[in-house]
Chain A
Amino acid sequence: MSQLDPFLAAGLFIILAPVVGVLITGLDRILTARMQGRVGPPVLQPLYDIGKLFQKRQVAVWGAQSFFIFCYLIFIVFTGALFFAGGDILLVIFAFTLGHVFLVLGAYVSYSPYAHIGAERELIQLMAVEPMIIIAAIGLYQVNGSFLVGEMANHPGLPILLLPGVFLGFIFILTFKLRKSPFDLATSHHAHQELVKGSTTEFSGWTLAMVELAHIYELVVMLGFIWLFFGDHLWLCVIAIAAIMFLEILVDNCTSRIKWQDALISAWFVTLVAGAGNIFALSIM
């Protein structure tokens, strides 16, 4: 990564992330279908969905939601570009959070009770996830001595060996970020949940397309975080990502949505025990 010009790396992310994200999401949907004994859609189905949404008419009770969702997409893309350009990981995390705040605002704009509850749950998810992401950044700093993603990615060893607890905690909160059961509180890719489509209920047309696109960018950013745990062992990282995605899909298909209280407490418990415990052990070593 450091060999690449930062602007080139950011540009490559903006162009290639949707390709990678669509393929991973498409494979995810096929694997989910196979686990349920079905054939499943084509691999490029997420692309067809987004293309379709751009062809639909936009219906919005209040136009501000499109603006907020546009900001959401922009900040998620900015986050990813900053990350892959080798920027400061703290700035990456704050931009990431800001993006999600725009998503919450977009959901709050409408008068739909489903969207409102979805937005509230989106905030709860942020509360559950943020401490672990910050702890992951601290852990990676302890190992690398730098907050720059560019330097972390060139770590000659395997940071995961020093950060097993942080890695475990990160995998746990990844379920929130990928919107998979049992932590798909705010919105889900599956139909017939108790909240219909939750925070995305009121979006249609290209607003919904931007949400889907932002999810795809987000997926690539989250998988980028996993890369940092493997330094420059790229093959090991690819195998790990494949294994983690398989595990996430398996858990998604085996569990049902849980109450927000349980989601929040379990996330904080894992953060405190695995994440903070790991940081503490590392600091006294």
Chain B
Amino acid sequence: MSYLQKSPWIIHYDASSCNGCDIEVLACLTPLYDVERFGILNTGNPKHADIFVITGGVNEMNKEVVQNIYEQMPNPKVVVAVGICACSGGVFRECYNISGGVATVIPVDVYVPGCAARPESIIDGIVQALGILEEKRNEMKTGTKEAA
């Protein structure tokens, strides 16, 4: 297990979520779930982050914000879409201003469905993302797939 998997720092962004999933994401930091046990920190700064945890279906207004945050994160990085809205747009999918899921804007690595997603499944999603993070690092080292 490399250092990368032992110290994943996350940035959390609310892309027009109803705040249900956001509260569950923040619940992961509370004494009951305490994700800092795994070295996970909520940085709030894209340049320090390894995992982009994003909730909500992404509307036309924050599309560029989501892309901007994603581009500011240094490689290797992974994206975890939390909640059914982030996965597919959920009940808001047909709305005129909703893009219909995070994957329409940036590449998503792990989908965590649920309305709202349970803290247990969010933590599970992040732990699965760690495996992908490690793969991406190996790709970066060997230079098989060079991301910009």
Give A residues with C-beta under 8 Å from B: 29, 33, 36-42, 45, 47-52, 54-59, 191-192, 196-197, 200-205, 208
Cα–Cα distance between A48 and B50 once the two chains are bound (Å): 14
Q: Is B48 an interface residue (CB 8 A)?
A: yes
- Contact check, B47 vs A203: say whether CB atoms are below 8 A apart: yes
Q: List 23 A-B contacts (CB under 8 A).
A: A40-B34, A41-B36, A42-B39, A47-B3, A48-B6, A51-B6, A51-B7, A52-B3, A52-B4, A52-B6, A52-B7, A55-B3, A55-B4, A55-B137, A58-B74, A191-B43, A191-B44, A196-B45, A197-B43, A197-B44, A201-B45, A201-B47, A204-B48
Chain B residues near A37 (CB-CB < 8 A):
31
Please encode chain B, from 73 to 107, with 1 for each CB lying within 8 Å of some chain A CB and 0 for all others.
Answer: 01110000000000000000000000000000000
User: How many B residues face the partner with a CB closer than 8 A?
Assistant: 26
Total A-B Cβ pairs within 8 A? 85
Excluding A52-B6, A56-B76, A204-B47, 15 further A-B contacts by CB distance (< 8 Å) are A38-B31, A40-B37, A41-B36, A45-B39, A49-B39, A51-B7, A52-B50, A55-B3, A55-B137, A59-B74, A191-B41, A192-B44, A196-B44, A197-B43, A197-B48
State the 4 A-B residue pairs at the shortest beta-carbon distance, nearest first: A51-B3, A48-B6, A37-B31, A52-B7
Using Cβ atoms and an 8 Å threshold, which residues of chain B touch A205? 74
Closest Cβ–Cβ distance, residue A69 to chain B (whole Å):
13
Picked from A47, A51, A54, A202, the residue with its CB within 8 Å of the CB of B47 is A202
